[in-house]
């Protein structure tokens, strides 16, 4: 299939117009929230939203070095946007376990994409014991009339596979030097494995590009699964990004409240399920993060929940005042959230209500900000 990925008939709309049909407006015009996040009136927002197109269950997006873009669909589709705005369905995508939160997940270009055409994908797969996340790599081939993945091979799998279909995590990020692939691995709603170094559930792992455990990992001497682990005690880390200084950051869904933005440190334990700034669903209490408890506290947290589904750290020219800031897509919060990063510290800044579940936030080569929503929209933010 090839279609045009240009502006829809709606063309360009202001944020105020986009929000006109939203039913919940209680926080939209408030100058500030009790948690310190600024919420700006619609007419004062510094961007305009362009509706680009609609896709089937878009989940993740990446711009390629040559200006093309890839978008995954939760149900298993992969779409290539060509440099002229055309759309092509990509063949050769792996079979996915499309159930609950599972399906086709993240997509990133390899550091050597310009010479090899290699891309990495993550997805939920079925197997003995249930399901789990997998990561694979393949060569993207585009002959101008069709596109396909060639030579797809699995390089990493969550261990063990378990029942259920939640909290896969499976976000991908390469280190700035291109030598290491980081994968966020959710605890699959099983809680306790997040503290077990013999399981890859509830971890962020550090791998070589071929998927093997990287040398120098903090628990390498324990062998097996532990040799992959970079950090642990995570719940459902659905965002993963490096800043310009090489710090790794992760956005993580908490339970009932307690969503987190974490600076990911080598060997650190982020506490789940022993501590959290939120509570269990149904009202069960969890001890809050506290100084001296032995766990790494988040740099920012949200209670009530915003349900962060993605993370991007901005370095573009379209919005120069935001360079170095983190952007989170909020699912239950139906918003785009900006966090001011200052070295290894973070402070909540803006929360722009969009009236849609924001699944993905991505920066284009020209510095515009692109959003994917669970309602299927592809949106572009340009400076007002």
Q: Return the active site residues.
A: 167
Residue whose C-alpha is closest to residue 354's, from 338, 340, 374, 333: 333
Pull the structure tokens for residue 207. Answer: 């791998």
- What are the percentages of helix, strand and coil residues in the chain, rounded to 5? 5, 45, 50
Pull the structure tokens for residue 298. Answer: 């988040």
**Euclidean distance between CA atoms 45 and 335, whole angstroms:** 13
Would strands 147-157 and 86-91 be described as parallel, antiparallel, or unpaired?
parallel
Given a contact cutoff of 8 angstroms between Cβ atoms, the answer to whether 349 and 372 are in contact is no
Instruction: Put residue 198 in one of left, alpha, beta given phi > 0 → left and psi -120 to 50 → alpha.
Output: alpha
CB atoms within 10 A of CB 22: 13
Instruction: Put residue 332 in one of left, alpha, beta given phi > 0 → left and psi -120 to 50 → alpha.
Output: alpha
Pull the structure tokens for residue 220. Answer: 């390498």
Given a contact cutoff of 8 angstroms between Cβ atoms, the answer to whether 203 and 269 are in contact is no
**Secondary structure letter of residue 212 according to DSSP:** S
State the first-to-last Cα distance of the chain, in angstroms, to the nearest integer: 34
Q: What angle do CA 62, 65, 70 make, to 5 degrees?
A: 30
Would strands 358-363 and 345-353 be described as parallel, antiparallel, or unpaired?
unpaired
Query: Based on C-alpha coordinates, what's the Rg of the chain?
Result: 20
């Amino acid at each position: 299939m090839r279609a045009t990925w240009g502006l829809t008939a709606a063309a360009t709309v202001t944020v105020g117009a986009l929000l006109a049909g939203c039913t919940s407006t209680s926080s939209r015009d408030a100058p500030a929230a009790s948690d310190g996040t600024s919420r700006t009136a619609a007419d004062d927002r510094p961007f305009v939203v362009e509706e680009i197109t609609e896709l089937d269950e878009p989940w993740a997006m990446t711009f390629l070095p040559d200006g093309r873009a890839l978008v995954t669909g939760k149900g298993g589709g992969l779409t290539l946007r060509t440099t002229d705005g055309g759309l092509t369905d990509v063949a050769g995508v792996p079979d996915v376990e499309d159930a609950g939160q599972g399906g086709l997940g993240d997509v990133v270009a390899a550091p050597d994409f310009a010479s090899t055409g290699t891309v990495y994908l993550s997805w939920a797969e079925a197997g003995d014991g249930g399901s789990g996340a997998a990561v694979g790599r393949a060569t993207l081939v585009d002959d101008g009339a069709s596109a396909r993945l060639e030579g797809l091979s699995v390089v990493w799998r969550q261990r063990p596979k378990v029942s259920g279909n939640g909290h896969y995590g499976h976000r991908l990020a390469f280190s700035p030097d291109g030598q290491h692939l980081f994968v966020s691995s959710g605890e699959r709603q099983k809680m306790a494995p997040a503290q077990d170094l013999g399981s890859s559930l509830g971890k962020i792992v550090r791998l070589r590009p071929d998927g093997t455990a990287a040398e120098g990992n903090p628990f390498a001497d324990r062998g097996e699964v532990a040799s992959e682990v970079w950090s642990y005690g995570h719940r459902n880390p659905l965002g993963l990004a490096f800043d310009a200084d090489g710090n790794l950051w992760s956005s993580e869904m908490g339970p009932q409240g307690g969503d987190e933005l974490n600076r990911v440190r080598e060997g650190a334990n982020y506490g789940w399920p022993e501590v959290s700034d939120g509570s269990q669903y149904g009202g069960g209490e969890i001890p809050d993060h506290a100084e001296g408890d032995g766990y790494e506290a988040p740099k920012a947290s949200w209670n009530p929940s915003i349900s962060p589904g993605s993370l991007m750290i901005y370095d573009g020219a379209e919005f120069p005042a935001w360079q170095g800031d983190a952007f989170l897509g909020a699912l239950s919060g139906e918003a785009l959230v900006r966090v001011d990063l200052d070295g290894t510290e973070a402070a909540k800044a803006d929360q722009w209500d969009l009236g849609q579940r924001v699944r993905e936030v991505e920066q284009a080569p020209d510095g515009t900000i692109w959003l994917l929503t669970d309602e299927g929209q592809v949106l572009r933010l340009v400076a007002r």
